[in-house]
Structure 1
Amino acid sequence: MSEADFQRSVDDGGADHLTGMAMPSLALPATNGQEVDFATLSGLVVIYAYPRTGRPDVAAPADWHMIPGAKGCTPQSCAFRDHHAELRALGVDHVFGLSTQTTDWQAEAVARRHLPFALVLDAGVRLADALNLPRMEVAGETLLRRLTLIVRNGVIERHFYPVFVPEANAGEVCDWLRAQGSDA
């Protein structure tokens, strides 16, 4: 995919408040069968939030490609998969994807795309509410807007928002971590 394939997202300031915030203590189900509480994870954690993954047997919502920031969830996940070893080498202890989709729906994406990390479900947008994450309503569903958080020992150190050209986001995260030096 190229930039021409995406509706450009505009920075509406919806994530400006996140840097420096502590992650709330919430146990969220993950596709690996465990619950994840981002507040309790030590070390460096990358969490990329996305609206929804597609499935080959289910049509996307009408005009999905026309919604700024909607298209590109699978390329973003695949890029984090492809950069996973590099992220680990740069000091990242955990990588997670985050959406409001069901764990079963996300588990299908993990298996089909061979993701080496878990996807986490924010049912009822509890995490989104606690952090006031940017979201959108599409076809009666509350979906997260695409953003990426770098969390160190439970505190948000950096955010990427809006994420434009989702497949480039993992590389941007790696570039930022490299720029931080060996302390990242």
Structure 2
Amino acid sequence: MLQIGDTAPDFTLKTTDGADFTLSAQRGRALVLYFYPKDDTPGCTAQACSFRDQYQDFQDLGAEVVGISSDSETSHQKFTQKHRLPFPLLADAGGRVRKLYEVPRALLGLLPGRVTFVIDATGRIRYIFNSMSRATDHVAEAKRVLQELQPAG
């Protein structure tokens, strides 16, 4: 099981615009990497829209938000356009990256789980939040952790 302090496993996945997103290429800025079950379901939509509505706060904290599910690039494109999401969604066909991050299945193993990782600018995992039912709490928790990581000033 991944732990706080571990180096986040590297991966490359396609974004909604077909570009490659490689985790290690993001070093130098914090990342909020959130795994979610499925585009356009009630909890996932609430979570994505909450990240959207607070996206500027994450940018101000020096972080990028990235969503990952097993949905296709086409599904992600429709979801992004429908809800005007300003951050990338990555298509994890087959769940390879989900397995790499040891995201557990939920609801008796029937659904992919909902887990958020806060990764610092050096690539270390600084926080892990796992909750299927508290979708929008992922946003609040990630923002709180990023605020705590800010240098005192």
Match of 2:43 in 1: 72
Count of aligned pairs:
148
**How far apart, in 2, do the equivalents of 1:181 and 1:24 lie?**
23
Match of 1:98 in 2: 68
Task: Summarize the Cα distance change of 1:109–1:165 in structure 2 as closer, same or farther, 3 Å threshold.
Answer: same
1:110 matched to 2:110: no
Residues 40-78 of structure 1, C-alpha deviation per residue, up to 9 Å, x if partnerless? 311201111110022xxxxx7xxxxxxxxxx50000000
TM-score of the aligned structures, taking structure 1 as reference length: 0.72
CA-CA distance at 1:39 after TM superposition:
2.9
SS at the partner of 1:182? coil
Unmatched runs of 5 consecutive residues or more in structure 1: 1-15, 55-59, 61-70
Matched AA of 2:45 = T
The runs of at least 4 aligned residues of structure 1 exceeding 4 Å deviation read none
TM-score of the aligned structures, taking structure 2 as reference length: 0.85
Matched AA of 2:141 = E
Match of 2:145 in 1: 176
SS at the partner of 2:136? helix
**How far apart, in 2, do the equivalents of 1:37 and 1:95 lie?**
14
CA-CA distance at 1:132 after TM superposition:
1.9
RMSD of aligned alpha carbons: 2.0
Matched AA of 1:91 = G
Give the percent of matched residue pairs that are identical in Structure 1 and Structure 2: 27
**How far apart, in 2, do the equivalents of 1:147 and 1:111 lie?**
23
Match of 1:48 in 2: 34
Matched AA of 2:115 = L
Match of 1:3 in 2: none
CA-CA distance at 1:23 after TM superposition:
2.8
Task: Summarize the Cα distance change of 1:134–1:39 in structure 2 as closer, same or farther, 3 Å threshold.
Answer: farther
**How far apart, in 1, do the equivalents of 2:84 and 2:13 lie?**
21
Q: Which structure would you say has the larger Rg?
A: 1
Match of 1:11 in 2: none
